[in-house]
Amino acid sequence: MRIHEKSRLLVAAAALVLLGLLCAAPVAAAFLPLATSKGATLAGVLREPRQWRLFLTTAAVALGAAGVATLLGAPAGYFLGRMPARPRRLLAGLLAAPLLIPPYVTAVAWVDALGRAGMLNRLLTSWDAVPSLVRPYGLAATIMVIALSYFPVVAFAVLVGVRRLDGRWEEAALLSETGPRTLSRIVLPLVLPYLALGAGAVFLLALLSFSVPLLLQTPVYTVEIYTRFTSFYEPAQAVGHALPLALFLLPLPLVWRWSLRRQNRFATASAGRPPLQSGAHLAVLGTAYCLCLAGVATGVPLAVLAVRAWPPDSFVEVWQTARNAMATTLLLAALTATAGVAIAFFAARSLGARARHVALPVALLPFIFSGPVLGLGLIRLWNHAGLPALVYDGFAILVIACLGRYCVFAYAGARAALDHLHPRLEEAAAVHGAGFLRRSMGIVLPAAAPAMAALWGLLFVLAMAELDTAVLVTPPGWTPLPVRIFTLMHYGPSRLVAALCLTTAAFILAAAGIAVLAYTKTRKLIAGAS
C-alpha cells in the first residue's frame, strides 16, 4: 500500500539522506582523488609490475576459498537437508559457529598452532618421517582459513535447496538408477542454483577479505589498499586498486540472476518432502561428517586458543587491560544494531518503487568496495576541523563506519521481511484512520518483530567483529576488541592475544545465541497472537 502521506515522504527523504551520508558519501570521498587525477593515477597503478601478482593472488584466494568452501559445505548441506528436524537444528547451530567467529580469530589460532613454536607443528615434526608440511602463512593457508570460516554459507544454501526439493523427483529416478547417479544427475542439477549462490557469496566474501590475508601475509588488493594508504599515504593509488578488485564482482549479478531464475523454475508446491532413501545410514554418516567439520573449523581453533591462553590468569589480565575495549565493542555493537535496524526499517517502509532501486545499490557500495576503501573515504570525509572533527575524534565515527559497511544487510533484510507481510494488516489500520507513523510502529513493526530481532542480532554480531574499516578510523581512547587484537598480533601470537580472541568469540557466540532466542520467542508470540 502506497499512500502519498506527508509523513511518509518526510521519512523517505530522511532515509535517503542518511543512506547517502553513510554509504555514498564516504565512497565518493574515497574516489575523489582518483577522479581529480584524470586517469593518470589509475593508469600508473595499472602499469605497476605488481599488478599481475596482485590480480592473480586475489583471484586465487577468491576462487580457491569458494572452491574449498563448496567442497566442504555442499555435502554438509545435503546431509543436513536429509536429516530429521531436531538433529538438523542442532548440527546447523554447530556449523553456524565458524561463520560467527571472526576469520581473524581463526587465523590467529592456526598461526598459533602451526607456527614454528606451535603445538600442532611440534606434534608433526616430532615424528621424524613427517616434516613440517603445513605453513601457517601464505596463499594456501589464507585459502584454507577463509574456506573454513565461510563454508557454512555454502552448506546453508545447499540445505535450503535440498529442503525445497520434491522427494518424488529422487524416488522417480531411484526406480531406474542407483543412489550416486541419482545424486549426480537429478539432485545436483536441481540444487546447483543454490550451490552457485552460496559459492558466489563465499567468492565475494573471500575477495573482500582483508584481515586474514594481512595476518597471513598474502598480497591481495584489499591489503594493498590498506598498505598504500597507511604506509605510504597514497590515497589515490590506494583506491586505484579498488577498481581492478571491482572487476571480479562483474560476473556475480549474472550468477545471482541465473540462480534465481532456476530456483523459480524448479519451485514446487510439494517441496520439503524427503524421499524414502534418506534413511538412518545417511543420518549417521551426515552427523559424523558435520561433527568432524565443526570440530576442525571451530573446535580445534578454540581449543588451540584455550591452551595458549592457559592459565586462567590470562583472562584476569584481559579484564584489567582491555575492559574498556570490551565496553567500547559492546556499545558499538548495540548502537550499530539499533540504529541500523531503525534506518533499515523506515527506509524499507517509506521508499517508493523508484527510490528502492536506488537505495539498495547505494547501500551496497561501501561493502563491495571493501572495508579499507570505506575507512579511507571516512577519513577524507570527516577528518576536517570544526564540526566534522567532533565526529571524527569520537566514538561516533566507529558507529558511522559500522553502519556504512553493514546497513546493506539490514536494508535488504528489512525489505524482504516487510514484503512478506500481508498488505491487509496495514490496510485495516489505515481504514480506521491510523497515520503512517502509527501504522509503522503499531502494526507493521510488531508484525515484523521476529525478522527485526534477527536483523538486530546480525548487525550486533557483524559490528562486534568489525575490523576492516575500524582499523583505519579508530579514535584514541575508543579501541574496540578486534582492533586491539590486530594491534597486538604485530608482535606475534601470545597468551594475551589468545585470551582476547577467546573473549571476542565468547561475546559473539553469546550475542548470536541471544538473538536466536529473541527471534524464536518473538515468532512464537506473533504466531500466538495471530
Partner 1 sequence: MQVDVKNLSKRYGSVVALSSATFTAEQGTMTVVRGPSASGKTTLLRCIAGLEIPDAGTVSLGGVCVSGNGVWVPPVRRGLGMVFQDHALWPHLSVRGHFDFVLRAARLPKRQRAARIERLLELLELTDCPRSLPHALSGGQQQRVGIGRALATEPPVLLLDEPFSNLDARLRGRILAELNRRRETAGTVVIVATHDAEELQQNGNTEFRIGTQIP
Which residue reads 555493537 in cell numbers? 333
> For partner 1, which stretch binds (CB under 8 A), given 2-10, 261-269, 363-371, 451-459?
261-269
d(CA 137, CA 214): 10
For residue 443, what is the DSSP state?
I
Smaller CB distance to partner 1: residue 122 or 273? 273
Under the binding rule (CB under 8 A), the answer on residue 276 touching partner 1 is yes
Closest by CA to 502, choosing from 486, 480, 485, 478, is 485
> For partner 1, which stretch binds (CB under 8 A), given 249-257, 269-277, 362-370, 502-510?
269-277
Q: What angle do CA 300, 305, 306 make, to 5 degrees?
A: 95
Whole-number minimum distance, CB 84 to partner 1, in Å? 13
Whole-number minimum distance, CB 168 to partner 1, in Å? 4
Which residue reads 502506497 in cell numbers? 2
Question: DSSP string of 184-252?
Answer: IIIIHHHHHHHHHHHHHHHHHHHHT--HHHHHTT---HHHHHHHHHHTT--HHHHHHTHHHHHHTTTHH
d(CA 223, CA 219): 6
Whole-number minimum distance, CB 173 to partner 1, in Å? 7
d(CA 495, CA 485): 11
Under the binding rule (CB under 8 A), the answer on residue 168 touching partner 1 is yes
Q: Which amino acid is at 465?
A: A
Q: Which of 125, 184, 217, 270 binds partner 1 (CB under 8 A)?
A: 270
SS (H, E, C) 100-131: HCCHHHHHHHHHHHHCCCCHHHHHHHHCCCCC
Smaller CB distance to partner 1: residue 117 or 276? 276
Smaller CB distance to partner 1: residue 184 or 520? 184
Smaller CB distance to partner 1: residue 185 or 357? 185
> For partner 1, which stretch binds (CB under 8 A), given 259-267, 315-323, 406-414, 437-445?
259-267
Whole-number minimum distance, CB 276 to partner 1, in Å? 5
Under the binding rule (CB under 8 A), the answer on residue 172 touching partner 1 is yes
Q: Which of 5, 171, 234, 317 binds partner 1 (CB under 8 A)?
A: 171
Under the binding rule (CB under 8 A), the answer on residue 151 touching partner 1 is no
What are the residues whose beta carbons fall under 8 Å from the beta carbon of 305, sequence distance 6 or more? 105, 108, 109, 112, 498, 499, 501, 502, 505
Total residues contacting partner 1 (rule CB under 8 A)? 23
> For partner 1, which stretch binds (CB under 8 A), given 57-65, 147-155, 233-241, 266-274?
266-274
Residue numbers at the binding site for partner 1 (CB under 8 A): 166, 168-169, 171-178, 181, 185-186, 189-190, 262, 265-266, 268, 270, 275-276
